[in-house]
């Protein structure tokens, strides 16, 4: 019973109930332990905190002043305990995820939907960015996890491999004449190419691939979103480089078709990225557990 907090707890319950017996009951202590704790506190403070009376105990004026402070601290501690229980049960808290617009929309959306339905008390923050930006968000502590294109090689990061994606070149009705042909990269480059404007992992990978084949990939049109890549290709403004899994609907309805090439475009994987030595919040752990 050496530390002050334990003594103040005994004081609080004795003052609240007006009875040493009740305080002992509330704290699962014996009555002599409660009396001893109050005597210790009075000795430390050099003040008398209670009057003894036939019904139990009553606060002295000094005891009343101390109680007004201790009561606030006990309320805060109770609130803190309730808050911790709410976080543990995922009744409150937040989940902060970084990623690209397209991965949020085409990959994470069903998982986010399921998570929010299950844990409506959790606030969700989505931070949009390219892979280098998402890595920076994670290292700055602005997000709990990032969803990015692999490979990621960084000793500070833990990356769990998820689904495979296949990028491809697609065109709309205006280029119907190319539908059943297998094009060389040179033949492809005779047409206007539409690429994502920002420094994304997919853009870097396809530029590198063309360089390896001895070609410079210079887009005629650059756009800032995957939705525009799809829309521009549909309208016949050029040939867009997009992720096949994100245009399943357009390929199925025939508003876009895939350009066949004589060069192999390697697939990529999505990775779920966290900081290696940082403990994850319960919300983040639970969410990662849901994602395949």
CATH number, domain of 48, equals 1.10.10.10
Point out the least confidently predicted range of 32-36, 89-93, 204-208, 279-283. 89-93
* Cβ contacts of 271 within 8 Å, gap of 6 or more: 147, 148, 149, 150, 151, 152, 159, 160, 161, 162
For residues 139 and 220, state if they share a domain: no
C-alpha span between 227 and 258 (Å, rounded) = 17
Domain match, 176 and 251 both: yes
Q: What's this model's pTM, rounded to 2 decimal places?
A: 0.72
CB-CB contact of 108 with 99 (8 Å): yes
* Percent of the chain at pLDDT exceeding 70: 99
Instruction: Indicate if 104 and 146 belong to the same structural domain.
Output: yes
Looking at the chain, which runs of residues are DSSP E strands? Answer: 50-53, 56-59, 94-99, 123-128, 145-149, 157-165, 167-171, 182-183, 193-196, 221-223, 239-243, 257-258, 260-261, 268-275
Residues 191, 152 share a domain: no
End-to-end CA distance of the chain: give it in Å, rounded: 50
Q: Are 172 and 262 members of one domain?
A: yes
The residue among 268 and 87 whose pLDDT is bigger is: 268
Q: For 215-227, what is the mean pLDDT?
A: 93
**226-252: burial string, b at 16+ Cβ within 10 Å, e else:** bebbbbbbbeebbbbbbbebbbeebee
Domain span including residue 57 = 4-88
Tell me, yes or no, whether 109 and 254 share the same domain.
no
Q: Do 255 and 110 share a structural domain?
A: no
Among 73-77, 85-89, 165-169, 193-197, name the one with the lowest average pLDDT.
Answer: 85-89
- Examine the domain organization and report whether 150 and 212 are in the same domain: no
Per the structure, the count of domains in the chain is 3
Same domain, 62 and 192: no
**Mean pLDDT throughout 257-263?**
95
Whole-number pLDDT of residue 2: 46
Is 70 exceeded by the pLDDT of residue 204? yes
Nearest to 130 by CA among 148, 150, 143, 156: 148
- Give the pLDDT confidence score for residue 3 in this predicted structure: 67
Smallest CA-to-CA distance from 272 within 99, 154, 21, 60 is with 99
Say how many residues make up the chain.
292
* Confidence band of 84 (pLDDT split at 50, 70, 90): confident
Whether cis (ω within 30° of 0) applies to the bond prior to 151 is yes
Q: Are 160 and 276 found together in one domain?
A: yes
Average pLDDT score over the chain: 93
pLDDT band (50, 70, 90) for residue 1: very low
Q: Tell me, yes or no, whether 150 and 22 share the same domain.
A: no
- The CATH number covering residue 260 comes to 3.40.190.10
Using pLDDT thresholds of 50, 70 and 90, give the confidence band for residue 277.
Answer: confident
Looking at the fold, whether 236 and 180 belong to one and the same domain comes out as yes
123 phi-psi bin (left φ>0, alpha ψ -120 to 50, beta other): beta
């Amino acid at each position: 019973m050496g530390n002050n907090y334990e003594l103040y707890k005994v004081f609080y319950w004795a003052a609240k109930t007006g009875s040493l017996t009740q305080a002992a009951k509330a704290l699962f202590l014996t009555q002599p332990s409660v009396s001893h704790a109050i005597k210790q506190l009075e000795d430390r403070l050099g003040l008398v905190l209670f009057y003894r009376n036939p019904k139990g105990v009553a606060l002295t004026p000094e005891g009343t002043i101390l109680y007004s402070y201790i009561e606030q601290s006990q309320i805060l501690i109770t609130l803190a305990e309730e808050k911790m229980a709410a976080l543990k049960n995922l009744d409150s808290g937040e989940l902060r995820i970084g990623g690209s617009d397209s991965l949020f929309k085409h990959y994470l959306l069903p998982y986010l939907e399921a998570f929010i339905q299950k844990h409506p008390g959790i606030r969700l923050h989505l931070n949009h960015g390219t892979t280098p930006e998402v890595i920076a968000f994670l290292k700055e502590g602005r997000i709990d996890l990032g969803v990015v294109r692999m490979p990621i090689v960084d000793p500070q990061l833990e990356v769990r491999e998820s689904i495979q994606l296949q990028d491809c070149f697609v065109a709309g009705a205006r280029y119907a004449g190319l539908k059943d042909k297998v094009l060389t990269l040179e033949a492809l480059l005779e047409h206007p190419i539409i690429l994502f404007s920002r420094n994304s992992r997919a853009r870097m990978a396809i530029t590198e691939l063309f360089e390896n084949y001895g070609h410079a990939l210079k887009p005629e049109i650059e756009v800032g979103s995957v939705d525009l890549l799809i829309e521009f290709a549909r309208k016949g403004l050029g040939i867009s480089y997009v992720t096949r899994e994100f245009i399943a609907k357009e390929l199925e309805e025939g508003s876009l078709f895939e350009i066949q090439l004589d060069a192999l475009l390697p697939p990529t994987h999505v990775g779920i990225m966290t900081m290696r030595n940082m403990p994850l919040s319960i919300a983040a752990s639970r969410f990662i557990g849901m994602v395949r």
